[in-house]
Structure 1
Amino acid sequence: MTSSPALPRETAEAAAALRAALGGEVLVAADPGYDQARQVWNAAVDHHPAVLVRCAGEKDVRAAVRIAREHGLPLSVRGGGHDWAGRALRQGGVVLDLSGLRQVTVDPATGTAEVQGGARAGDLIEEAARHGFAPVTGTVKAVGVTGLTLGGGYGLLAGAHGLASDNLVGAHVVLADGESVTASAEENPDLFWALRGGGGNFGVLTSLRYRVHPLTTVTSGLLLFPLAQAAAVLRGHAEILAEAPDELTVMAGFFAVPDAEPLVFLLPLWVGDPAAAEPWRARLASVGSPVAGEFTQVPYLQVASLFDDSIQNGRHTEMRTRWIPGHTTESIEVLTEAAARMTAPFSGLYLHHFHGAATRVPVADTAFGLRRDHLLVEIAASWAPGTEARAEAHRAWARSLSADLAALALPGGYANLMGPDESDRALTGFGANAERLLAVKRRFDPDAVFTGIPALPPPTR
């Protein structure tokens, strides 16, 4: 039997200190369960942290931050584990794994929900639905609520209720010195400002308080069109977006289909009186001839599940992103041509609609820096493991589309989808808020212990 190699002294000492101080499980490479614990959604990520700490609560988080710093080990934080680049798993560092902390408590009287730091969007959506409410989240239930919020949080309720981060009303945060503070409009307001769209650069969010909205059913439906109708569908999409009221948010995009041509989709969601949605039903029907789908009343919970299959655990994924002001003849051509040459069988192009309530939040009120109407282009190449001979072609498809859109795009981009090589562009995306964001970083994390998305540069001395 071959014994495991000895741990470096600082790692062994840190692991021993963590085991003595924490209630949760502490894993190093030699431990059973370590390899499973270091897996994230994107199976292409193969990072090897020095120590994995499965935190049992805020007390564990506070102790783990202090011990990691005492032993000179870098930190990262894992919530839902859906950052495609695997930045939740710090190579050679200490991972604070919050994925077991998923409790959600809804208070119908105040219209708020208390959410633990490892909760998934589905946890929040399902618990809110039990009380007749809906939260603002993205379009996949498995994604972590905390990471989504820290980057901004696009979703199908953007027109009616803004971003996920716009609905954050408070948080408990463990700072770089291991102390816990509350961030809200009344307490530590600069920190609260930075948490709403500024990335995970300021501390560990052990719990969050959200505004939720009285909502159980919506008018919605996934409308699928053949690729040959793509240009017409996107032109129709542009016309609808130009007139859409707050109640109507319309996502669009393309799905790869194994052994068949990709499909174009529209995903409209109407909040409010279903009768008032009828004129939009006719507009949506006029953009093409759908091969499947209808615009009808459905539970919001059903709509929030439509893209769950698109990020199944175990696939390999490369993602890129751009912000574009809207559809133009050139952008429609670029997107349609790229969809026609998708190389990977589970790939997708997703166009997230930003308008309405999301645009009326003043730029200076949160760290999120782009408050004009636009489309977020999410580019996802995804393939099954075991087909690595084609992996570079899949990655090249995503990167080349991003490059082709660059001349049509707004400055910067959505930090939650950026690659590890794109921190400068992500920082540009904060626009006029970047300088204040860096100042908050210097105040709350002067030693750059936390590296969010994007990783803000270390403070100058």
Structure 2
Amino acid sequence: MSQFKLTSAALSVCFTAVAGLDISALSPKRAEIPPQVNYTELAGQLSNTASIFLPGSDIFDDVVSRWSNLSVPVANVVVVPGTEDDVLKTVNFANEHSVPFLATNGFHGSITTLGKMTQGIEIYLSQLNTVQISPDGRTAKIGGGIRAKNLIDALWAADKQTVTGACECVGYLGPGLGGGHGWLQGHHGLISDQYLSFDIVLANGSLVTIDETSDLFWGLKGAGHNFGIVTSVTSKIYNLQYPKYAIETFFFSGDKVEEVYQLANELWITNGTAPEGLNNWSYWYLDPTIDPDKPVIVIYIIQEGVDTVDPIHTEPFHQLRPIKSEPKSGDYRDLAAWTGISLADGPCQKTGNANPRFPIYLKAYNPQTQKQVYELFHEATSGPEAHFANSLFMFEGYSQQGVKAFPDDASAFAYRSDNLLVAPLLIYPPSEELNQEAYKLGNQIRQVLFEGSGMATMDTYVNYAYGDETPASWYGSDSWRQERLAALKEKYDPEGKFSFYAPIA
């Protein structure tokens, strides 16, 4: 029998450097089911809303496929829990049979350490997607399997909102466990800064509630992938104050790269501070309809509470004579479509491509360095022989006031003093040759950015990590941070059962 299906539960399917890493091509594979493991036994323990899928079913194939097809985890069974208790029973079953396990939701973690899972149970949390708003309207209990768009829509219907990831198809918990950036962070801080308590299945198979009275609370907010499976979280929510949003999108040719990023520094970073309700992103990508020869520079200026972005932010870019500009107005729910990360857009599709990123945080733009990395990106994406023509360079400039309102030691997230999140996203059909080429190019670009930054450490966003970085890069190089995380890991997961995603050690 290739499939146990306990119910007809509906399943829905943009994300969210160690030398010598083996980055050979790894397409999705199926691990054979160890003969000593009888999953019929597990099926009998689960609720009637749970499902188990084995290789041979379309749902199994869909769930085990990922957004990035590089160094993927390999499962030989998928469990879809219907309740928190189903997660608990699945982990206990896995422990009893010495079977590895991995919780999944949005499938956008592209880190290569996931490839260390070569067989085991995938625990797909999609059914744990409820939102329960408290009577006072100040908090909500949110299921561990909810996606960003589902949460945004559920809160919007109640005239509420909270900080979520920007991409509609990513989970809520996945980004938050690594800190988590979002459009509203200028007001309220990171996604993880909203969390008040966690219901979590630990490595020992216990389901517990962790709040600020626990030593683990600090570690879950920034390094949470290392400690358990969060089945639900209680989070701060806020009254919907600024439903209206406006955006103006500018398109520049590559010869304006230094001027564009010098202006961004002057307006928002080195000589000024972006208001809480303003976010600025930019992308580089090849669009032959705009420029047939080299990547275009696209600047998004996004402002809340207005129908048109204030000219104080847009007029300086008009003076640089863009190829074109496009103003739009709508509400908060339009932001993902405006920036190309809605459910309908490419980052929410599983294409079979490899999609590694090579992230780095920056304090500010170095315009000369921007020109250097633009030329590297241009060379890799342009011309008939270009292997990375569909790639994207991402520059995320969120408002920072809410993030910096928390002290640096408030959580395991280490990079509150940084202002920009930068990452080339290299998109290509995976092969051993192209994997090696992407690895070389991505790290070359990142090294140029680092050398031009004047920073002492290469700060890396764990949710975008490639996988060759170090724990000090993911979680902060301060010795007290590393020691505190190591102590928590030893206490709560001494056998390293949660060590497939950016492991502490």
TM bin, normalised by shorter chain, reads 0.7 to 0.9
Q: State the Cα distance separating 1:119 from its structure 2 match.
A: 1.1
Answering whether residue 257 of structure 2 is matched by residue 220 of structure 1, we say no
Q: State the Cα distance separating 1:369 from its structure 2 match.
A: 0.7
For 2:502, the equivalent position in structure 1 comes to 454
Q: Deviations over 1:308-330 (max 9, x none)?
A: 22413213312111122211233
Answering whether residue 491 of structure 2 is matched by residue 443 of structure 1, we say yes
SS of residue paired to 1:176:
coil
Cα distance in 1 between the residues matched to 2:409 and 2:421? 21
Q: Deviations over 1:220-273 (max 9, x none)?
A: 333322223222111111111231233322222312336833221222232356
Q: State the Cα distance separating 1:104 from its structure 2 match.
A: 2.9
* Structure 2 gaps, min length 5: 1-29, 382-387
Answering whether residue 347 of structure 2 is matched by residue 313 of structure 1, we say no
Kept in 2: contact 1:253–1:349 (CA 8 A)? yes
Q: State the Cα distance separating 1:63 from its structure 2 match.
A: 0.4
Partner amino acid for 2:391?
S
Q: State the Cα distance separating 1:70 from its structure 2 match.
A: 0.9
Higher deviation after alignment, 438-447 or 203-212: 438-447
Q: Deviations over 1:334-366 (max 9, x none)?
A: 332233224323311111225222122101111
For 2:76, the equivalent position in structure 1 comes to 50
Percent identity of paired positions between Structure 1 and Structure 2: 24
Cα distance in 2 between the residues matched to 1:445 and 1:400? 35
Q: State the Cα distance separating 1:219 from its structure 2 match.
A: 3.2
Q: State the Cα distance separating 1:82 from its structure 2 match.
A: 0.8
The normalised TM-score by structure 1 is 0.88
Kept in 2: contact 1:50–1:91 (CA 8 A)? no
Q: State the Cα distance separating 1:172 from its structure 2 match.
A: 1.0
Q: State the Cα distance separating 1:122 from its structure 2 match.
A: 1.0
Which of 400, 403, 422 is matched with 2:447 structurally?
A: 403
For 2:179, the equivalent position in structure 1 comes to 152
Kept in 2: contact 1:218–1:300 (CA 8 A)? yes
SS of residue paired to 1:221:
strand
Kept in 1: contact 2:245–2:332 (CA 8 A)? yes
For 2:425, the equivalent position in structure 1 comes to 380
Q: Residue 276 and residue 298 in structure 1: after superposition, are their counterparts in 2 closer, same or farther (change >3 A)?
A: closer
Q: Residue 183 and residue 302 in structure 1: after superposition, are their counterparts in 2 closer, same or farther (change >3 A)?
A: same
Kept in 1: contact 2:261–2:370 (CA 8 A)? yes
Q: State the Cα distance separating 1:170 from its structure 2 match.
A: 2.2
The normalised TM-score by structure 2 is 0.80
Aligned length: 448
Q: Residue 423 and residue 20 in structure 1: after superposition, are their counterparts in 2 closer, same or farther (change >3 A)?
A: farther
Q: Deviations over 1:362-390 (max 9, x none)?
A: 0111111112142111220113x489875
SS of residue paired to 1:92:
coil
Q: Residue 103 and residue 88 in structure 1: after superposition, are their counterparts in 2 closer, same or farther (change >3 A)?
A: farther
Q: Residue 121 and residue 377 in structure 1: after superposition, are their counterparts in 2 closer, same or farther (change >3 A)?
A: same
After superposition, residues 254-403 of structure 1 pair within 5 angstroms as: 254-257=284-287, 260=292, 261-272=294-305, 277-294=310-327, 297-305=329-337, 306-308=339-341, 309-311=345-347, 312-314=349-351, 315-343=353-381, 344-353=388-397, 355-383=400-428, 385=429, 392-403=436-447
Answering whether residue 46 of structure 2 is matched by residue 19 of structure 1, we say no
Q: Residue 46 and residue 365 in structure 1: after superposition, are their counterparts in 2 closer, same or farther (change >3 A)?
A: closer
Q: State the Cα distance separating 1:275 from its structure 2 match.
A: 8.5
Partner amino acid for 2:280?
V
Partner amino acid for 2:318?
A
Answering whether residue 121 of structure 2 is matched by residue 97 of structure 1, we say no
SS of residue paired to 2:356:
strand
Answering whether residue 236 of structure 2 is matched by residue 211 of structure 1, we say yes
Higher deviation after alignment, 431-440 or 199-208: 431-440
Relative contact order: is structure 1 or structure 2 higher (C-alpha 8 Å, sep ≥ 6)? 2
SS of residue paired to 1:426:
helix
Kept in 2: contact 1:231–1:336 (CA 8 A)? no
Q: Deviations over 1:38-92 (max 9, x none)?
A: 1112234554313221111211100011111111112211121110137667321
Partner amino acid for 1:325?
K
Cα distance in 2 between the residues matched to 1:88 and 1:80? 14
For 2:55, the equivalent position in structure 1 comes to 29
Kept in 2: contact 1:173–1:181 (CA 8 A)? yes
Cα distance in 1 between the residues matched to 2:31 and 2:287? 45
SS of residue paired to 1:199:
helix
Partner amino acid for 1:22?
L
Q: Residue 88 and residue 254 in structure 1: after superposition, are their counterparts in 2 closer, same or farther (change >3 A)?
A: same
Q: Residue 270 and residue 109 in structure 1: after superposition, are their counterparts in 2 closer, same or farther (change >3 A)?
A: farther
Shift >6 Å, 4+ stretches: 273-276, 386-389
* Structure 1 gaps, min length 5: none
Answering whether residue 209 of structure 2 is matched by residue 182 of structure 1, we say yes
SS of residue paired to 1:364:
coil
Kept in 2: contact 1:216–1:300 (CA 8 A)? yes
Q: State the Cα distance separating 1:121 from its structure 2 match.
A: 0.9
Q: State the Cα distance separating 1:201 from its structure 2 match.
A: 0.8
Cα distance in 1 between the residues matched to 2:427 and 2:56? 31
Cα distance in 2 between the residues matched to 1:95 and 1:283? 50
SS of residue paired to 2:486:
helix
Q: Residue 225 and residue 133 in structure 1: after superposition, are their counterparts in 2 closer, same or farther (change >3 A)?
A: farther
Q: Residue 212 and residue 225 in structure 1: after superposition, are their counterparts in 2 closer, same or farther (change >3 A)?
A: farther
